[in-house]
Amino acid sequence: MCHRRSFSALIVLTVLLTLVAGCASKTTPGTIPGPSTGGNTITVTAAGMAFDTSTITVSAGAHVTITFINNDSGVRHNVAFYTSAAATTVINIGGMTTGVSTLTYTFDAPTTPGTYFFRCDVHPSTMTGEFIVQ
């Protein structure tokens, strides 16, 4: 009787230790996605000859993914990133696409935080915005 009881206690203890070990392994650092990864994947839409946003914000040096949706049927647009509104120094020029269509651009953001510039190269005076690197 006494032996059986201590054997049962040993089993309970073993199960508890296994559960604790299981919980500990689930909280190992590195298995939880970092919060910054989602912020550098951005969707930009062009519709009615305008972008749906006037600012695009990413982290300095981040690998940026832009999903560009062109909802203007039969109209060519792109999203091009420059260091300033003068558009003389290129960060990344996304390919032109005629709507309705979707393109994905990937490039590395500048490593120096600052306010840069983006525009549609087809409509450079009306489709513009701030490219904020922080």
Span 19-78, contacts to Cu ion by CB under 5 A = 77
Closest CB to Cu ion among 59 and 122? 122
Span 92-121, contacts to Cu ion by CB under 5 A = 120
Among 47, 96, 103, 122, indicate the residue that binds Cu ion (CB under 5 A).
122
Backbone phi and psi for residue 94, each to the nearest 5 degrees, phi listed first: -75, 150
Closest CB to Cu ion among 39 and 99? 99
Sites of contact with Cu ion (CB under 5 A) = 77, 120, 122-123, 127
